[in-house]
Chain A
């Protein structure tokens, strides 16, 4: 066994770091192809308008301009609209309304930023100048941006054949049982809330380069994608009609995704189609302000919810009514997020016996809404955990205590919830107690008094959560409307010298896969850590894969890798049996060596690899040369990470600025492969949730539909000086159905944190009779709340 076996649970430093630290990363915008030209999109300045005409004559006459493409050109070429990967069914049994989503607007624009034309020129300056001269005659129409307005009878309609702008009226749960639970309730707690719209904003803006080789009729697309194989499938088969073997999609180094880069975007298809027409590679790099009006956005719910409790504070039933904004078009996974990834999470970590949830999915004149880190699950957690706090306040029960009384005990797993999912494992109470201890929940009154003595309002807030991730068991996903499978694949290619290349269908854009996956192979095969390389992100290299989203890479991809490694061992045993003149059943594999059981006869892993590729004395009739194994893994269930988060804030009543002072998180992510990487994922996820709770808000003007928060000057991203030092810990119960017991950790931080922070803010204001504060809890919002509460108290 090599001394440098770095297996599961170790914290090796990341393999991928050195290229990023030295400026040698290879992001799409860094790539230059020979003879490359530049593309720029002309986008709608209107939220809702009819396109009367497009005049590009002046642009085409300008120096360096090679091509202008419009929606009519694509239509004439028979180019299809962008497909949706997930169709949902309404409570009436009918499929969702699925109007076409043309790659370039046809006839009408439906949000500010809707792409209308594409200009290609020799240089960026020429393309930009030409784009400015394109005259689009619009007939502006009334716009609607909020979901409550969109479903009004007199609301402007985005699509003539979609009445009330209603994409789908969806429901989950047992309505009659829930009604019955409310009839016998001793108390009903109610809340109305908004889950604010967010912009994902990975630091690398989207970008793409498309190239066509007329000699081989072969297309290549470099794209900032979280799932290049899915882009190849969706774009090749459903939009451009390019045979899969003629289309290569490469997602090289990608600078963060968070869901924003897991969709098939219009720009990818327009570039690829146009590259063949122009006959030269075309590059498009999204500007940040352009990303604000074209990257799919997240959240945006309006919800009313009620919790029925008995006289002891036990939850009897939960009723949730949500209206979810899906934007101006259906994005790749759009309809799935506020439904299948939301309703089934409403049980949380509680024993609530009856739950009923209705979700109206609604079109508006805004950028399409789709998955953003957490995707549906932070929204569900926010509803539930805010409501539990309201109930605790009304019943006078301690907020930790009301949760304890209702938690699913560790012994009750596997636990079937009333909303479809069956949790395999978990220990919510263990997470809660550990978090309470780390946050010194018991010592809070003393700290509150200390703050009060300085004239500050201090609050502490708690949120538990559970999420469903490891997307996804294909059988379940198929029943829920997924139009594809959600397995993952991995190939373990053992070279003749014993080193290993892994080819895997997930995509690494910050998660540290090159390190974590190498640890898995190290653990399995006993091969030195430095002898293992991970390859991903290129459809010409990697077999197939569904990519990275939904905290699935380790859970599904890692499991495929584990399975492929097992196959390598199995074949290695056959080779060893031949070399050691033994029977296959007598060969044991341990610590990188194949041994004949009970003897000292053995072969090192590298010797077996060499023999596999130098088969001079090989039983070819029973054994093929080579040592390369591939596995596909499709999970049998979702995984269910969970945990408890606690935030502590201080509000200055003079400025109404919220300072986040402490943050503690205890998360059950199952088996931890690399604690360093898991901690990093938790930190980042938590801060995105803190961003939602305190800073970030995507706002459209109600009347014009203009995006008001369209740059980093207006959309407040969390910065280093807004944040305290966080304490993160894990409390793991291994998943019972994944090979290594892993559950996934990419999204947990973002799911637990918004409610924890919001609950802390409300706690700080509880003495004013405040029982809810919508996110983000900005100084302006708090000033209004504090002002109106004081006026109200003065009046009383």
Chain B
């Protein structure tokens, strides 16, 4: 089946098997390997991407279902020399260690920031309940999201 969508700002059109998952289309066919797969029960959140600005677990979505949408992956955020404010906040607050959960954390956090201009720490912890991290104990991730949210709103880049 053909699926056409806007991926990180560029129109793509590919043929996929009907059972193909979005994460596999991104990783295996389109070779965007920033989106990770850390479990097989939709629990870990390493695979979170944006579909029309909503954060979704790409391991749980059929690729064909994104036909006609806008999909953003971690590769569609900032570049190494021009990080997105949330990426920069994770960097400055040591919000990552092994980096495996990071793409999903970033995508979840960016949607969170858009919906929560003045969040509390509890808001962040509740929102990130669906993103597992085994390295950081979450504390510096929470710090990152607090700062990143403030930065996104200050820069109007929401």
Contact = CB atoms under 8 A, between A and B. Distances in A.
Contacts of B119: none
Nearest to B99: A20
A675 to B, nearest CB: 10
B73 A23 contact: yes
Given A684-B134, A720-B131, A25 B94 contact: no
Tell which of B31, B44, B97 has the most Cβ of chain A within 10 Å.
Answer: B97
Nearest to A726: B139
Interface residues of B, number: 56
Interface stretch (B60-68, B78-86, B150-158): B78-86
B96 A17 contact: yes
Interface string A493-525: 000000000000000011110000000000000
Interface string A218-257: 0000000000000000000000000000000000011110
Given A30-B33, A683-B139, A720-B128, A21 B101 contact: no
A712 B74 contact: no
A711 B141 CA distance: 24
A261 to B, nearest CB: 11
B97 A684 contact: yes
Interface stretch (A198-206, A446-454, A615-623): A198-206
Interface in A531-568: none
A22 B142 CA distance: 19
A509 B80 contact: no
Nearest to B75: A23
A13 B91 CA distance: 7
B16 to A, nearest CB: 13
A256 B100 contact: yes
Contact of B98 (A24, A201, A510, A687): A510
Contacts, number: 184
Given A711-B41, A719-B132, A687 B102 contact: no
Tell me whether chain A's interface is mostly helix, strand or loop, or mixed.
loop
A24 B91 contact: no
Contacts of A511: 97
Contact of B38 (A20, A205, A718, A719): A205
A717 B40 CA distance: 15
A52 interface: no
B118 interface: no
B126 A23 contact: no
A19 B44 CA distance: 21
A289 interface: yes
B99 to A, nearest CB: 3
A203 B133 contact: yes
A723 interface: yes
B106 interface: yes
Nearest to A687: B137
Interface string A1-29: 00000000000011011111111110101
B125 interface: yes
Interface in A388-408: none
A255 B36 contact: yes
A202 B125 contact: no
B32 interface: yes
A659 to B, nearest CB: 12
A606 interface: no
B22 interface: no
A135 to B, nearest CB: 25
Interface in B67-126: 73-75, 77-80, 83, 87, 90-92, 94, 96-103, 106, 121-122, 124-126
Given A720-B131, A723-B125, A25 B99 contact: yes
A509 B100 CA distance: 10
A509 B98 CA distance: 5
Give chain A's interface residue range (CB within 8 Å of chain B).
35 or more
User: Which residue of A30, A202, A688, A720 has the most chain B CB atoms within 10 A of its CB atom?
Assistant: A720
Given A288-B41, A712-B41, A204 B126 contact: no
B136 A683 contact: yes
B2 interface: no
A256 B96 contact: no
Contacts of A203: 36, 38, 44, 46, 98, 100-101, 132-135
Contact of B43 (A512, A712, A718): A712
B30 interface: no
Contacts of A721: 122, 125-126, 128-129
Contacts of A152: none
A256 B97 contact: yes
Interface in B1-59: 27, 31-41, 43-44, 46
B136 A680 contact: yes
Contacts of B38: 203-205, 255, 288
B41 A510 contact: no
Given A18-B91, A725-B121, A204 B75 contact: no
B84 to A, nearest CB: 9
Contacts of B132: 203, 712, 717, 719
A340 B78 CA distance: 48
A713 B132 CA distance: 12
A22 B96 contact: no
A579 interface: no
Contact of B96 (A20, A287, A688, A712): A20
B32 to A, nearest CB: 7
Contact of B142 (A30, A677, A720): A720
Interface of A: 13-14, 16-25, 27, 29-30, 32, 201-205, 253-256, 258, 287-289, 509-512, 676-677, 679-680, 683-688, 711-713, 717-721, 723, 725-726, 749
Given A22-B79, A203-B134, A718-B138, 5 more contacts: A23-B75, A204-B100, A511-B97, A683-B139, A720-B142
29 contacts: A13-B94, A16-B99, A21-B83, A22-B74, A22-B83, A22-B87, A23-B32, A23-B75, A23-B103, A24-B80, A29-B27, A202-B134, A204-B38, A255-B36, A258-B134, A288-B44, A289-B41, A510-B97, A510-B135, A680-B94, A680-B97, A683-B140, A685-B137, A686-B137, A687-B137, A688-B134, A712-B39, A719-B138, A725-B142
